[in-house]
Structure 1
Amino acid sequence: MKQPLRDVRSYRLPTEVIDPLRNGLPKVSSQTIAAIVREVPAYAEPFAGVLGHKIARAVRAALGTFLNLVSRPGADPGTPMASAVEAAYALGRGEARSGRSLDALLAAYRVGARVAWRGLAEISVEAGQPAATIADFAELVFAYIDELSAASVAGHADELAASGRLRQRRMQELTQALVAGEPAHVLQGLAEQAEWVPPQTLTALLLPERGARWVIDLLDPRTLQLADAVPDLPGMTALFVPDPQGCSRPTLHRLLTGHNVVIGPARPWAEASSSLDRACRVQRLSPPSDGAVVDTEEHLAAVVVTADPSALEDLRAWALMPLAGERGTAAAKLIETLRSWLLHHGRREDVAAELFVHPQTVRYRMARLRELYGDRLRDPQWVLALTIALAIPEP
């Protein structure tokens, strides 16, 4: 069974072992740096510039710290090790900020450990150290590298998490600004801060908050999500999808089926608030159910007709004034028939089929309506007013 590596924090090597190693440290450091440049291509360019001097100093410091660590009998083992771990942690964070993965850094650690150990072992052999001491020393070298590697992994992960949280917060600020209808120059600045490349258009999706986390995984990675509920629509949230117009819009329909989504119109990205406004209006007029997808493009007439509810109410009252003397049930049947007659352009059979009545009933009701309206049912302006007034049935 493989034994765990020795705790490098507590083990100490005698002075007669350390002194030759310290004298040979510059040469071993140079060999280690050369091997990393040669065997880890990702570091060839950094070592060639100003950054190379910093990395070279870091390698020398790491080896020097190791020798200090294992040559301090009776001293606090945490002090030198804490400094090395902190430097390795910072190195991992720096790699993340540079946009590099950990592959190159961990490869550099492996190459560095191998080459440094080979150089230090040669010095120990030349100094006549026994095999057991050299074996102990090897164990300490690799335990030390494991500590540094773990610290760099933690630093890399923490930096990614921190930068991810920062970018997410900036994306949310951008989305809030879009919904608020902020000026284009403000939106452009927020997009740059979030490192979000604006598309040509954005299309708003309105859906229940509980379903948004499933839907967003199906969409373009650049999709924006409103962090809070949509104002005046509790439990609803909004997504903004880049460029789904044209032939991709039917695809969007298919992806969203089963999620009770309202799809707004495509708008220039800085005007995305108008897409959400349209979706909200259609949500109030015709909310989806049973997993349906409602496209606002199919409800434009209803949106236009209900744009000013009080004006529509006034128009309806004015247009139906001739029916003021009719009783409740009779008036309701006449209004229902007049609406169908207008929408079907006077085709009696179609009106009867829609209302589930006999054509003769339609004839009787229309005769009564002509009595009440007279020539107004042949006046284009009155027909237009009646059509608009009755286009959307009263709830």
Structure 2
Amino acid sequence: MAAVRRTADHGLRLPPLAVDRMRGELPEVAEHVVAAIIDEVPSYTDAFSGPMGETIRNAVQLALGGFLSLASGKRGAEVSTPTAPAVEGAYQLGRGEARSGRTTEALLAAYRIGARVSWREMSTTAVRNGLDAETLVAFAELVFAYIDELSAASVAGHTDELATTGRVRQRRLERIAHHLLTGSPVETVQAAVERAGWEPPRTLTAVIVPESQVRPVLASVSPATIAATEAPDLDESVLLLVPDAHGHRRTALLRTLGTRGCTAGPARPWLEVRASYDRALRARAAGLELDTEAHLVPLVLEADPAARADLRAQLLAPLADLRPGTAEKLTDTLRSWLLHQGRREDVAADLFVHAQTVRYRMGQLRELYGDRLDDPDTVLALTVALG
């Protein structure tokens, strides 16, 4: 442990007789400590049954024994101070308590009770064996400094265990994301899900989030959300796979994403989330943010840019021999005519020209295209090409 040892070089040396008497009472004191903790800290009511209970009892006795060795001035042959095993034991106890699901608040409450009971019983024995008032004060200071040292070690162990557990779980969740996004067999995905202890949802929604916004977004979405920091084809952003954000819940998700620069793909059955991610990627590449479902037309039109460019060139071939300015005006007129279903007044308003100009230009276009402007397949192709 790297913490400053307040018990080091304390200078207190208790009379050997008092130490021997207190050491002889250690098992009884330890049981009194355990009983008080069970009585006063609700989360420890059932904690002392089974292997964990034995571990805690041993930790209490080890701590008390280490303290008496410290107070008597003894040093072990293999450790720098007699408290080292107790500090290590406290650290491991903290890790065990984290695994058991108990909080640091409960752990520190147990230490406070242990300090109170231990001090009451050991000080009584010390006074009974001739400890003077001045030494008793120093004894009290050492007791509580020692408890502070142990409790700090336990809190460090608790914190480290949670961090380790969190890292391990995060790695396992990222393996699920990896398999989902790379097309691994269903059996492989299911095995990763079982290892992570993750409950599969009905749907997953892929959300691309800027790195700076990941923490606030995660704080507002489902705790079962998977954060994939190394998603394929993604730089300077993090992919979140949000469970069951379909139907009316999508509105809440989009409200959370707000103006954070995120892009949310559609909800898809959880094993098919790659499709949601692909759409979010395409939208992001096209400069479209937030809700991909609000941009379906441009996404469809830009799904294959090269094919669309070829289609456009093919369909505008009749205009190829015209002057560029004329070709551009006729192209704009044809596009507006298609989108407004031939309503001349609407086309004129859209292009800011007179209706007669629209009539003239459409006459030119009909000369160039002939009957093809009345063919449904040609109209569809032109709408896609010019949409």
TM above 0.5, yes or no, is yes
* 1:384 and 2:380 matched: yes
Q: Secondary structure at the match of 2:47?
A: helix
Distance 1:72 1:365 in 2: 106
Letter in 1 for 2:229: A
Asked if structure 2 preserves the Cα contact closer than 8 Å seen for 1:7 and 1:140, the reply is: no
Asked if structure 1 preserves the Cα contact closer than 8 Å seen for 2:340 and 2:347, the reply is: yes
* Structure 1 pair 53–241 and aligned structure 2 pair: CA distance change class (3 A): closer
Asked if structure 1 preserves the Cα contact closer than 8 Å seen for 2:91 and 2:153, the reply is: yes
Aligned to 2:102: 100
Residue in structure 2 matching 1:304, options 283, 300, 303? 300
Q: Secondary structure at the match of 2:46?
A: helix
1:380 Cα offset (Å): 1.9
1:278 Cα offset (Å): 1.0
Distance 1:211 1:74 in 2: 53
Aligned to 1:225: 227
* Structure 1 pair 309–67 and aligned structure 2 pair: CA distance change class (3 A): same
Asked if structure 2 preserves the Cα contact closer than 8 Å seen for 1:102 and 1:153, the reply is: yes
Aligned to 1:189: 191
* 1:246 and 2:244 matched: no
Of 175-184 and 81-90, the range deviating more from structure 2: 175-184
Aligned to 2:30: 29
* Structure 1 pair 118–263 and aligned structure 2 pair: CA distance change class (3 A): closer
Distance 2:347 2:153 in 1: 78
* Structure 1 pair 207–128 and aligned structure 2 pair: CA distance change class (3 A): closer
Of 68-77 and 364-373, the range deviating more from structure 2: 68-77
Letter in 2 for 1:272: V
* 1:317 and 2:317 matched: no
1:86 Cα offset (Å): 0.6
Aligned to 1:81: 83
* Structure 1 pair 322–251 and aligned structure 2 pair: CA distance change class (3 A): same
Distance 1:308 1:74 in 2: 77
Letter in 2 for 1:385: A
1:261 Cα offset (Å): 3.2
Q: Secondary structure at the match of 2:342?
A: coil
Q: Secondary structure at the match of 1:42?
A: helix
1:234 Cα offset (Å): 4.8
* 1:349 and 2:345 matched: yes
Write the mapping of 1:37-56 to structure 2, written as runs, cut at 5 A: 37-56=38-57
Write the mapping of 1:60-209 to structure 2, written as runs, cut at 5 A: 60-72=61-73, 78-209=80-211
Asked if structure 1 preserves the Cα contact closer than 8 Å seen for 2:336 and 2:350, the reply is: yes
Percent identity over paired residues: 53
Asked if structure 2 preserves the Cα contact closer than 8 Å seen for 1:230 and 1:238, the reply is: no
**Structure 1 residues without counterparts, runs of 5 or longer:** none
Letter in 1 for 2:89: A
* Structure 1 pair 353–251 and aligned structure 2 pair: CA distance change class (3 A): farther
What's the TM-score once normalised by structure 2's chain length?
0.87
Asked if structure 1 preserves the Cα contact closer than 8 Å seen for 2:7 and 2:146, the reply is: no
Distance 2:261 2:62 in 1: 60
Aligned to 2:275: 274
Distance 1:21 1:207 in 2: 61
Asked if structure 1 preserves the Cα contact closer than 8 Å seen for 2:207 and 2:263, the reply is: yes
**Root-mean-square deviation (Å):** 2.8
* Structure 1 pair 251–146 and aligned structure 2 pair: CA distance change class (3 A): closer
1:203 Cα offset (Å): 1.7
Letter in 1 for 2:93: L
Q: How big is each residue's C-alpha offset from its partner over 1:26-75, in whole Å with a ceiling of 9 and x where there is no partner?
A: 33233222222222232231213333233222222222222222224577
**Structure 2 residues without counterparts, runs of 5 or longer:** 1-5
Q: Secondary structure at the match of 2:303?
A: coil
1:352 Cα offset (Å): 1.0
Q: Secondary structure at the match of 1:222?
A: coil
Asked if structure 2 preserves the Cα contact closer than 8 Å seen for 1:334 and 1:365, the reply is: yes
Letter in 2 for 1:168: Q
1:267 Cα offset (Å): 0.8
What's the TM-score once normalised by structure 1's chain length?
0.86
Distance 2:38 2:282 in 1: 62
Distance 1:346 1:296 in 2: 30
Asked if structure 1 preserves the Cα contact closer than 8 Å seen for 2:115 and 2:144, the reply is: yes
Asked if structure 1 preserves the Cα contact closer than 8 Å seen for 2:12 and 2:139, the reply is: no
1:265 Cα offset (Å): 1.0
1:338 Cα offset (Å): 1.1
